[in-house]
């Protein structure tokens, strides 16, 4: 009798993989091991809608229990794997029991990078899980002062949510500007202005010298000598892949669990996918990347599932990412740092798109920002052009009157 | 049967494209297929209440602008994560260059 498919990690990636196995017609056992007690849920709303919608945020489940059961997906919640026995194809679970596998998928995700300074305490928090979101929500109210350490997406989305709820917000960023990693300066400037117009105070280019958390408030001393006092400090300084299990099992690591283009680890019976793995991106000549993005987690989950069933399919996607802050939505397709020059396309209502091209004219990324979903369609079309390694006409890219769709036919 | 509501001129929708149509407090999406046929669905994605009219039409698929949920706009069938609930569709007819929708 077959041991079945085991997936460690019940986030977006692992859950998608479980359903994809069924969509592919797999009939054996599918076990989804999740560290949290909740049903699999969507993380993107935690910093945004879920935070502002009500005083007690609710979970947006990826699937309810009935749908899991209908697809015969066995969810082991509040459970984790403590070791992998590769020789016997078996994992040990946190309750001490063993679970055999035919193929194993490690989708353990990422965890917040910790601020390594003395003086951090109960008023210094991170956001990754729904329970984290619940704890943070309790502090967001009119008159509260929230310090956000790190001007990345999590920090900025939380800054917007905190302002909507009437809290005073100070964002502290060690780099000279917010969103240094992966977002062009022109786009980051629009985000910065939107926050400033909403009353967020920014301190950029200033490192933290010391933190003093006495359990009722936090005092953050900056390198410049200035100090920020807050009721709560939310730390959003990036995420690191969860690799301890893979490392102990002797799987090859390289900025996360190293997988090939089929998401296979150094053990042919073990796959890794989502935020915990680095993989070669074909669209950039095999450049190895690790992504922390919702859609790539889904695509990885589906691809890993197909390859667990022997599809031998390679990853062919283009990274895609979005963030919502106030009424603005930002979307990025591809990795802008691949670009050597940019072409700007201005749309209605202040929305614009930057096309990032190589010197030879190949489109490698597109980034855009605007109200609502103003940039969505053009970013999506740009993504399709990037996937084709297209060399689009530069005048057409710059002219909003030219439909990008027409360039796809070229 | 409910009445046929005049929604727009046929020329208001490009081939293989979609526009938004609001009527009586509800919002809809009207499509023109590559085969030059017209279709109508509810206007909001069943995943997170996003206007599909800002999405991309490819063949017989509408893709949500927010999270890339996909539907066959001719049948309303959900076509992949994150959407799992179908989209409601409505009968459409074209008469003398005008698009009419029957909104039940």
CATH classification of the domain holding B74: 2.102.10.10
Q: A125 and A89, same structural domain? A: no
Q: A97 and A50, same structural domain? A: yes
| CATH code of the domain covering residue A403 | 3.30.390.30
How confident is the model at residue A55, as a pLDDT?
83
Q: A304 and A268, same structural domain? A: yes
Name the domain count of chain B. 1
Beta strands in A30-142 (DSSP E): 30-33, 73-76, 81-85, 90-93, 98-100, 103-106, 110-112, 124-125
Residue A197 within a domain: yes
Q: State the residue range of the domain holding B67.
A: 4-102
Binding-face residues of A in 272-311 toward B, CB within 8 A:
294-295, 298, 302
Q: A149 and A191, same structural domain? A: yes
Residue B51 touches chain A, beta carbons under 8 Å: yes
- Among A209, A235, A261, which residue terminates a domain? A235
Q: A265 and A205, same structural domain? A: no
Contact across the interface for A380 and B65, Cβ inside 8 Å: yes
Contacts of A197 (CB under 8 A, 6+ apart): none
How confident is the model at residue A1, as a pLDDT?
55
Residue A322 touches chain B, beta carbons under 8 Å: yes
How confident is the model at residue A52, as a pLDDT?
92
Name the domain count of chain A. 3
Residue B2's pLDDT band (boundaries 50, 70, 90)?
confident
Q: A57 and A132, same structural domain? A: no
Contact across the interface for A374 and B63, Cβ inside 8 Å: no
Tens digit of each residue's pLDDT (9 = 90 or more) over A69-121: 999 999 999 999 999 999 999 999 999 999 999 999 999 999 999 999 999 99
Q: A118 and A107, same structural domain? A: no
Query: In chain A, which stretches have pLDDT less than 50?
Result: none
Tens digit of each residue's pLDDT (9 = 90 or more) over A251-301: 999 999 999 999 999 999 999 999 999 999 999 999 999 999 999 999 999
Of B16, B56, B81, the CB nearest to A298: B81
Residue A313 within a domain: no
Cα four-point dihedral sign A101, A104, A110, A114:
positive
Residue B34 touches chain A, beta carbons under 8 Å: no
Residue A317 within a domain: no
How many CB pairs lie under 8 A apart between chains A and B?
Answer: 36
| CATH code of the domain covering residue A99 | 3.50.50.60
Contact across the interface for A373 and B16, Cβ inside 8 Å: no
Q: A106 and A18, same structural domain? A: yes
Residue A253 within a domain: yes
Q: State the residue range of the domain holding A255.
A: 5-111+240-308
- Alpha-carbon span A392 to A192, nearest angstrom: 31
- For the stretch A70-92, what's the b/e string if a residue is b when 16 or more beta carbons lie within 10 angstroms of its beta carbon? eeebebbeebbbeebebeebbbe
């Amino acid at each position: 009798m077959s041991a079945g498919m085991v997936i460690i990690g019940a986030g977006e990636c692992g859950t998608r993989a479980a359903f994809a196995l069924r969509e592919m017609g797999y009939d054996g056992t599918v076990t989804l091991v999740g560290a949290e007690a909740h049903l699999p849920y969507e993380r993107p709303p935690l910093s945004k809608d879920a935070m502002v919608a009500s005083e007690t945020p609710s979970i947006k489940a990826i699937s309810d229990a009935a749908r899991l059961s209908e697809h015969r997906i066995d969810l082991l919640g509040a459970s984790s794997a403590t070791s992998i026995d590769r020789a016997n194809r078996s994992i040990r679970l946190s309750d001490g029991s063993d679970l055999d596998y035919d193929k194993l998928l490690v989708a353990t995700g990422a965890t917040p990078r910790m601020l390594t300074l003395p003086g951090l305490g109960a008023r210094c928090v991170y956001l990754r899980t729904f329970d984290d979101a619940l704890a943070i929500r309790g502090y967001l109210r009119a008159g509260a002062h929230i310090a956000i350490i790190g001007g990345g997406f999590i920090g900025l989305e939380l800054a917007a949510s905190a302002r909507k709820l009437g809290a005073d917000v100070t964002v502290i960023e060690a780099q000279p500007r917010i969103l240094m990693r992966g977002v062009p300066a022109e786009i980051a400037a629009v985000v910065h202005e939107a926050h400033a117009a909403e009353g967020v105070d920014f301190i950029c280019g200033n490192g933290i010298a010391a933190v003093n958390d006495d359990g009722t408030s936090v005092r953050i001393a900056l390198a410049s000598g200035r100090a920020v006092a807050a009721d709560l400090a939310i730390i959003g300084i990036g995420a690191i892949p969860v690799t301890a299990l893979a490392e102990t099992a002797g799987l090859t690591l390289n900025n996360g669990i190293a997988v090939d283009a089929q998401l296979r680890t150094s053990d042919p019976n073990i796959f890794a996918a989502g935020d915990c793995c680095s993989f070669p991106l074909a669209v950039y000549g095999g450049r190895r990347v690790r992504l922390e993005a919702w859609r790539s987690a889904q695509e990885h989950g589906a691809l890993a599932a197909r390859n667990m069933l022997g599809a031998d399919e390679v990853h062919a996607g283009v990274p895609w990412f979005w963030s919502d802050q106030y009424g603005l939505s930002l979307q990025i397709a591809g990795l802008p740092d691949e670009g050597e020059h940019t072409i700007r396309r201005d749309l209605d209502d202040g929305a614009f798109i930057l096309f990032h091209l190589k010197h030879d004219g190949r489109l490698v990324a597109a980034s855009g920002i605007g109200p609502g979903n103003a940039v969505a369609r053009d970013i999506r079309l740009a993504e399709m052009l990037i996937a084709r390694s297209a060399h689009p006409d530069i005048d057409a890219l710059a002219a909003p009157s030219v439909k990008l769709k027409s360039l796809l036919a070229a | 049967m409910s009445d046929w509501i005049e929604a727009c001129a046929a020329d208001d929708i490009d081939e293989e494209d979609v526009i938004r149509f609001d009527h009586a407090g509800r919002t809809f999406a009207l499509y023109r297929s590559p085969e030059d046929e017209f279709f109508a669905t509810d206007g909001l994605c069943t995943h997170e209440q996003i206007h599909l009219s800002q999405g991309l039409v490819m063949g017989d698929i509408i893709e949500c602008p927010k999270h890339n949920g996909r539907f066959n706009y001719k049948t309303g069938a959900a076509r992949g994560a994150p959407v799992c609930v179908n989209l409601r569709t409505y009968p459409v007819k074209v008469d003398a260059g005008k698009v009419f929708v029957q909104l039940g």
